[in-house]
Chain A
């Protein structure tokens, strides 16, 4: 079938199999391999992208369901050379190790902060419970999100 999906600000028309999952469309059709697949039960969140600005697990969305919508992946988050505040905070607070969960974790964090710009430690933890990280113990991920929130709030003031 034919789908038209806006990926990272650019509209693309592509032929896909009806059964194509959004994550495979992103990785294989669009060649954006930053988004990873970590499980097959909608559990780990490694494949998290923004669909119309909200976090979703792209392994549990058909490409066909995204037809006519916009998708933002990790590759589309930075503003040119300038990293998004969440990306910068992850680097500063060492919120990643092997990096495999990171794109999904960052996208989930971006969505979380859009819905709750000043979260508490506990709200960050529950806001990220759909994303598994096996390396960091989450401590520095939570620090990263809190730091990004603080920076974003400061910038807005």
Chain B
């Protein structure tokens, strides 16, 4: 299948990308790795008139040591996250989770920025960013602003990135030594998670348990009150509204969330 006709524009810099967005407004879509957008375009579920390719911006692909934190360029590919020594040491949850996304070919193209901005509640990295209290740097015509991950995901496929804006960087405080775990329950290894759980210390985030990636607040509150992982995990379904469709019922997902949160917390503590 072939996308509907569009005009391809390659951004030569972040400013150029912003200018192209300003020029074309709602008709334009940003293309990073393309692994969220192009499949939708082939099925003609997305029909942008202009595609602005960010692929020519190598200055947005990096994993950098910033002292207390690690900064990741928005165009850093999943493969580079998974194989980054710095992340493996300082933010192992992110490196590990990135290595479980899709398949190797997808990881060679897909980017962290693309994944976060897409805002798909079923994808892994948004929940990971939430659990890690990542800070997202969004740039627009008026300059850059920092958005905490907890305020970034607004609704189903909707994020804090406004039209005309661009996610440029993800900052995460170093986590060396902190317990972590990532549980991803799938039918096949390549499938999207039926339910996923990211744990960083006592922060717990859920994949595919509602219209947007979410923190398991009730679990976190129970932990803070001194509950054991098993006790806290019993709260995993609270406040969730998972999809109810042919892949899995909502009730089953809520059950899975409890099991996976318990396992993730136990693994994190043992790590």
By a beta-carbon cutoff of 8 Å, the part of chain A in contact with chain B is: 1, 17-19, 21, 24, 40-43, 45, 48, 51, 54-57, 59-62, 64-65, 67, 108, 111-112, 115, 126-127, 129-131
Contacts and interface: CB of A to CB of B under 8 A. Distances in A.
A62 B106 contact: no
A46 B158 CA distance: 32
A113 to B, nearest CB: 11
Interface residues of B, number: 30
A18 B49 CA distance: 11
B104 A127 contact: yes
A149 B3 CA distance: 38
B2 A45 contact: no
Contact of A130 (B7, B8, B10, B190): B190
Interface of B: 1-8, 10, 31, 34-35, 38-39, 42-43, 51, 53, 55, 79, 102-106, 108-109, 188-190
Given A21-B2, A129-B189, A130-B104, A56 B8 contact: no
A43 B43 CA distance: 14
A61 B10 CA distance: 14
B34 A62 contact: yes
Contact of A61 (B1, B34, B79): B34
Contact of A64 (B8, B39, B102, B190): B8
Contacts of B109: 56-57, 60-61
Contacts of A21: 2-3, 38, 42
A60 B107 CA distance: 12
Contact of A55 (B3, B53, B104, B188): B104
A130 B4 contact: no
Contacts of B35: 42, 60
Nearest to A125: B189
B10 A48 contact: no
B38 A54 contact: no
Given A40-B42, A60-B39, A129-B190, A45 B103 contact: yes
Contacts of A24: 2
17 contacts: A1-B8, A17-B5, A19-B8, A41-B39, A42-B102, A42-B106, A51-B108, A56-B105, A56-B109, A60-B35, A60-B39, A60-B42, A61-B34, A126-B189, A127-B104, A130-B104, A130-B105
B53 A40 contact: no
A111 B3 CA distance: 28
A16 B2 CA distance: 13
A130 B38 contact: no
Contacts of A43: 190
B2 A129 contact: no
B5 A40 contact: no
Given A60-B39, A65-B34, A19 B102 contact: no
B3 A19 contact: yes
Contacts of A56: 105, 108-109
Residue from A18, A40, A41 with most neighbouring chain B CB atoms (10 Å): A18
Given A19-B8, A54-B108, A57-B105, 17 more contacts: A18-B6, A21-B3, A21-B38, A41-B43, A42-B102, A43-B190, A45-B103, A55-B104, A55-B105, A57-B106, A62-B8, A62-B31, A62-B51, A108-B104, A108-B105, A130-B102, A130-B105
B14 to A, nearest CB: 18
